[in-house]
């Protein structure tokens, strides 16, 4: 069960099971025996037991909820600071003040909602905390996909405007060593997953999926793919100091996001979801600059809340450095018509997106490995709608994905392959009989 709990506050997800449901049947391409496997993402990456910081501030309890409410009331009663008061060295700058104000506005929503979802999941026996934590390490066998994309820029561009020529399929009879992953959209149209060798490494590709491995300079094959998408999820590599220091991936200036041609990819009234850091400047940019540029009307703000296997926040809720949550801004693509927002909503006929909902889950220990949104977005899209993820680092069944690291978490080293009919490996994310 990938959605463990759903209530008025949101959802508590088993992120590992969300991945595994795409790989119940898996075949190795070029295998004449047609051996069938069950592929499961390695469970140790979701065994997050240890919380960081002061343990008592990570607890989700009635006492903490009441304390937060009291803090909010007291902050409302304090007189405002003089605007012309000279700043002391210990005082916050404007960006830090904005971040603190945003957090104080949302903290009660996050604490109450998380408490409700965690308590329900605990009663079901899900959050049991029996596993050991793991370090934030990644498989040494993975390919450096971003570097491969840089190398691919030296290859000649495909000039053929024929839509069929910009698409290729994983084909068991012809092999996959010849595939051009950089200037063709690659599809696995089968109803089962496939283990295949790409660029000299084994990757596990989910069913009914398509992907393009490229950056902005080679995005045209996706634009000529001929598909209009009903859901578009964007996970930009936002600029921040932590990522710059670690050099885990290349950051992207906010202004560059405007180069994404959402109008050519979006169907009318499609749902657009953007992962955003907690920096108020990024949140303002998405709401007031990026979405209007795309013709997207902001509708709601959701939060991904990260908890341990014991149901505690992974970081203290009020930590001045790292928060245990990230933000998603949801909107509807309306184009650039002259209709007022109320007129557009009245004529759209699309489900209302509820505001301030929570997605609670045990996070992956792998950096930037976010949970799938496929299940929680279903109520807000039409049946059989097409879905696209931009800046993706993994694939999902039934989705199209694009990015310069689009296969990162599809590398076979992240999976355990068990021949069909044999007992599955122990160490499941779920307790027995859940």
Q: What is the pLDDT of residues 217-233, one digit of tens each?
A: 889 999 999 999 999 99
pLDDT at site 259: 92
> Of 122-136, 272-286, 322-336, which range is least confident?
122-136
pLDDT at site 429: 46
pLDDT at site 399: 98
pLDDT in tens, 75-130: 555 555 544 445 455 577 877 888 888 999 999 999 999 999 999 999 999 987 65
- Contact between 170 and 194 under an 8 Å Cβ cutoff? The reply is yes
Asked if the model's pLDDT at residue 13 lies above 70, the reply is yes
Asked if the model's pLDDT at residue 360 lies above 70, the reply is yes
Give the Cα-Cα-Cα angle 229, 351, 362 (nearest 5 degrees).
Answer: 75
Asked if the model's pLDDT at residue 51 lies above 90, the reply is no
pLDDT at site 293: 96
Distance CA 200, CA 263 (A): 36
Nearest to 149 by CA among 206, 216, 91, 95: 216
SS3 of the chain: helix, strand, coil, percent, to 5 = 30, 25, 45
Taking the CA atoms of 188, 191, 193 and 194 in sequence, report the sign of the dihedral they define. negative
Chain-centroid distance of CA 410 in Å reads 15
pLDDT at site 341: 55
Asked if the model's pLDDT at residue 420 lies above 50, the reply is yes
- Identify any residues that bridge with 401 across adjacent strands, giving them in sequence order: 211, 389
pTM for this structure? 0.86
pLDDT at site 219: 93
Asked if the model's pLDDT at residue 308 lies above 90, the reply is yes
- Identify any residues that bridge with 80 across adjacent strands, giving them in sequence order: none
pLDDT at site 82: 47
Most confident of 181-185, 244-248, 386-390: 386-390
Confidence of residue 372 (pLDDT cuts 50, 70, 90): very high
- Domains of the chain, earliest start first: 1-78+93-427 (3.40.50.150)
- Identify any residues that bridge with 258 across adjacent strands, giving them in sequence order: none
Asked if the model's pLDDT at residue 47 lies above 90, the reply is no
Relative to beta strand 193-198, strand 167-169 is unpaired
217 DSSP assignment: G
- Contact between 269 and 325 under an 8 Å Cβ cutoff? The reply is no
pLDDT at site 433: 36
Asked if the model's pLDDT at residue 10 lies above 90, the reply is yes
Using left for φ > 0, alpha for ψ between -120 and 50, and beta otherwise, residue 206 falls in beta
- Percent of the chain at pLDDT above 90? 56
What's the token pair of residue 174?
Answer: 């012809």
């Amino acid at each position: 069960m990938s959605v463990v709990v759903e209530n008025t506050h949101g959802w508590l997800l088993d992120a590992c099971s969300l991945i595994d449901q795409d790989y119940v049947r898996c075949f190795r391409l070029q295998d004449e025996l047609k051996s069938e496997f069950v592929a499961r993402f390695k469970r140790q990456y979701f065994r997050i037991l240890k919380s960081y910081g002061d343990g008592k501030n990570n607890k989700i309890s009635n006492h903490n909820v009441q304390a937060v409410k009291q803090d909010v009331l007291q902050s409302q009663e304090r007189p405002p600071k003089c605007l012309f008061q000279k700043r002391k060295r210990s005082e916050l700058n404007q960006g830090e003040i904005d971040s603190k104000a945003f957090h104080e506005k949302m903290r009660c929503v996050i604490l109450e909602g998380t408490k409700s979802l965690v308590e329900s999941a605990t009663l079901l026996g899900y959050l049991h905390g029996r596993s050991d934590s793991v370090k934030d390490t990644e498989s040494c066998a993975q390919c450096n996909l971003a570097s491969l994309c840089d190398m691919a820029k030296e290859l000649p561009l495909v000039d053929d405007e024929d839509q069929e020529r910009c698409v290729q399929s994983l084909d068991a009879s012809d092999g996959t060593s010849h595939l051009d992953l950089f200037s063709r959209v690659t599809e696995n149209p089968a109803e089962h997953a496939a283990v295949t060798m790409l660029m000299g490494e084994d990757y596990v590709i989910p069913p009914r999926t398509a992907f393009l491995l490229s950056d902005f300079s080679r995005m045209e094959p996706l634009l000529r793919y001929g598909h209009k998408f009903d859901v578009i999820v964007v996970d930009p590599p936002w600029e921040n100091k932590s990522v710059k220091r670690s050099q885990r991936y290349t950051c992207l200036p906010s202004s560059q996001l405007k180069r994404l041609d959402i109008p050519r990819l979006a169907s009318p009234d499609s749902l657009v979801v953007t992962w955003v850091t907690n920096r108020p400047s990024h949140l303002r940019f998405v709401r007031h600059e990026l979405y209007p540029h795309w013709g997207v009307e902001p509708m709601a703000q959701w939060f991904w809340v990260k908890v341990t296997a014991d149901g505690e926040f992974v970081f203290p809720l009020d930590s001045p450095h790292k928060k245990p949550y990230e933000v998603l801004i949801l909107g509807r693509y309306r184009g650039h018509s002259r209709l007022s927002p109320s007129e557009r909503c009245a004529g759209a006929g699309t489900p209302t997106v509820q505001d301030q909902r929570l997605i609670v889950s045990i996070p992956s220990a792998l950096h930037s490995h976010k949970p799938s949104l496929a299940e929680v977005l279903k109520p807000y899209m039409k049946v059989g709608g097409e879905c696209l993820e931009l800046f993706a680092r993994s694939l999902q069944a039934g989705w199209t994905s694009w990015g310069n690291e689009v296969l990162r978490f599809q590398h076979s080293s992240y999976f355990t392959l068990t021949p069909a009919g044999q007992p599955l490996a122990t160490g499941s994310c779920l307790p027995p009989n859940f």
